[in-house]
Each structure stands twice: as C-alpha cells, then as structure tokens.
C-alpha cells in the first residue's frame, strides 16, 4: 500500500517547462536548429546570459559531431530584465515561451541529427525548482 502512495506522489512532480525541437535547412550546407520552451503561466526560465551568483542560467551544450559544426553561439530573443530580491541582482528571463536558435554548417552527406542537452531552472514568484537537464535529438532534413 505504501508503494502505491509513493508512485502517486511522484506523478505530481512539477514540470512547468515543456521543450520541443525543430530544424530548418537554410541552404544545402546550413541549417538552423530551434529549441523551444513552452512555459506554464506564472513560471519563467532564465536567459543564457545571467551573471555568476544569480539563478541557474539556461545552458545549451551540443555533442561534437563530424556531420556538422556550430556557427556562432545559441541565439535568444530579448529577455525580460528585472531586479530580483532573491538574488540581489538584475536577472534576465523568459515567460510563456522562448525559442533558442543555433546555426549549424552541415559537413556530412545524408541525414544529420543534432544532439546535445540543455540545463535550465524554472521559477515562479514563490519558489524555484531544482535545475533540470534534458537531452535533445533534432533531425535536419
């Protein structure tokens, strides 16, 4: 009976951020990879550009591959920026949704899959969830 209770409690873990992925070829040798966070109402995730000493910033890491090379760094739209008392500093974050974009140069022949993982932290006005890490695998067609 106690085991049943434990599995029900686990099902109620908060997951206010939902990730989806896509890729678009912009030329025969280049593509843009999109990593989209859909964020539940009242929650936010942090920009990639949060200073040290603040909340856990969103970090996107791409697995090394012979099939593609990264062009520049992951891009993000302009975040909301405000003073957060919790961290005693100006922080940048996104609400509702955000799309991070990474340009890649395709170096291989045939289908390419861009893989990696991203780390992020979701907060609302009352609390922050522990940082979470998700793996992604994005086919480029």
What is 15-140's CATH superfamily? Answer: Thiol:disulfide interchange protein DsbD, N-terminal domain (2.60.40.1250)
Alpha-carbon dihedral angle through residues 82, 96, 49, 132, given to the nearest 10 degrees: 120
Give strand ranges (E) for 1-141. Answer: 17-27, 30-39, 44-46, 59-62, 68-75, 80-84, 89-94, 97-106, 112-120, 122-123, 132-140
Please state, rounded to an integer, the average pLDDT across all residues of the chain: 91
For the chain, how far is it from start to end, CA to CA, in angstroms?
49
Sign of CA dihedral 73, 97, 106, 118: positive
Domain boundaries, the chain: 15-140
pLDDT per residue as tens digits for the range 22-33: 999 999 999 999
pLDDT, mean of residues 64-75 = 96
Asked whether 10 and 2 are in contact (CB, 8 A), the reply is no
Which residues are registered as beta bridge partners of 128? 123
Predicted confidence (pLDDT) at residue 34 exceeds the cutoff of 90: yes
pLDDT per residue as tens digits for the range 73-119: 999 999 999 998 888 999 999 999 999 999 999 997 778 999 999 99
């Amino acid at each position: 009976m106690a085991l049943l209770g434990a599995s029900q409690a686990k099902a109620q873990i908060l997951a206010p951020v939902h990730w989806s992925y896509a890729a678009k070829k912009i030329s025969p040798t280049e593509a843009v990879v999109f990593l989209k966070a859909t964020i539940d109402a009242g929650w936010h995730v942090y920009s990639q550009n949060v200073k040290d000493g603040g909340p856990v910033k969103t970090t996107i890491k791409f697995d090394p591959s012979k099939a593609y090379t990264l062009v520049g760094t992951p891009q993000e739209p302009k975040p909301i920026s405000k003073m957060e008392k919790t961290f005693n500093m100006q922080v940048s974050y996104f609400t509702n949704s955000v799309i991070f974009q990474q340009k890649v140069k395709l170096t291989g022949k045939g289908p390419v899959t861009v893989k990696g993982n991203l780390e992020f932290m979701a907060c609302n006005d009352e609390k922050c969830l522990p940082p979470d890490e998700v793996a992604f695998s994005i086919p480029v067609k």
